[in-house]
Structure 1
């Protein structure tokens, strides 16, 4: 039987064409190096109540935090696990404390009468860090709580929704309610910091390039 050269060429290439078509149907399973190195997303952390009291002043463009008012000596607690990156005298505050959390946010505490932690310490959510006072530019004992959305402390955010996203409704009672299961926070960039919390969990996160 006569077969044209074109027919004979297609016949010889048929197995290869079938294999090529089948390969297009197979899923790609080989990960790239970038995909293997990409860290999991950080979604936040389980927070604790910063202090008992009432909100004497809320967050506005002019007032860059919230004021929680109560008596002198009222305990102040760390909102979340993290590293103390500042603790000492501060203009306007009298004294302040800053804590860098595993998700890259910073909580800032001002006007305290007494500080219980020093820069470089690692703290856990709900750990007492200070006593409420009226140091600096203040008309009465209160905690000025400010929240920074980034590890460089350049983008501030309203503490009320920040705490609500982490399970705390203001005003709050320290130590009340169940604490959500802790999350794991992968280091993303910068200086890697790790700390083992009081219950044995190992927290790992990245500090900003300037250490704040």
Structure 2
């Protein structure tokens, strides 16, 4: 091709080449989820999130399993003599926090690392409660004075409430690892809080 013809064709060739290049990546939507979630428990929402109710209540029978919403570290697992009764707090890698309240049994301790869908407790009615339910609270901004509505928080992560454990983006509910055999706390028949753990020998050892 003569040099003059090449010069005339060059702008057309450059335009075509640019058109074939991939465009900029689409920006993530505001508030995009940091992880795929698991269903926290089965039941019906007996009370939603509002200005006077910082979380949602999911009601079901005593002993209904409660699962971690996402992977994370247990930063609190204990007994609150006030409103929560026995409760658990989990810090997730994206910086958000989920809290679980009113259980009669906790299966994880502070410092444990949990995965989405792992069983962490059994539903109860301790603290400020009128019947067995899970009080689920979410802190999308740990510095906020009011929690985030858990329903849209979970929806952003693939879980539509009410939900069924074993469905959604993290579909397999996991029991507390069988090799540990540990139960962190439970209520005795007379209402006393029994705290114990099963060692490798299978014997239950009391601890404070």
TM-score of the aligned structures, taking structure 2 as reference length: 0.64
Answer whether contact 1:116 1:129 (CA < 8 A) is retained. yes
Q: Secondary structure of 2:152's match?
A: helix
Q: CA separation in 2, counterparts of 1:111 and 1:56?
A: 14
Which of 150, 163, 178 lines up with 1:159 in the alignment? 150
Q: CA separation in 1, counterparts of 2:150 and 2:96?
A: 11
1:119 aligns with 2:133: no
Q: CA separation in 2, counterparts of 1:65 and 1:175?
A: 23
Structure 1 counterpart of 2:63: 73
Answer whether contact 1:148 1:154 (CA < 8 A) is retained. no
Q: CA separation in 2, counterparts of 1:85 and 1:106?
A: 10
Answer whether contact 2:97 2:138 (CA < 8 A) is retained. yes
Structure with greater Cα Rg: 1
Q: CA separation in 1, counterparts of 2:136 and 2:59?
A: 11
Moved over 2 A (4+): 150-155, 177-180
TM-score of the aligned structures, taking structure 1 as reference length: 0.63
Unaligned runs of 5+ in 2: 1-31, 172-176, 178-208
1:144 aligns with 2:121: no
1:100 CA drift (Å): 0.2
Structure 2 counterpart of 1:107: 98
Q: Secondary structure of 1:86's match?
A: strand
Residue pairs, 1:175-194, within 5 angstroms: 175-179=166-170
Structure 1 counterpart of 2:34: 44
1:43 CA drift (Å): 4.5
1:95 aligns with 2:86: yes
Q: Secondary structure of 2:135's match?
A: strand
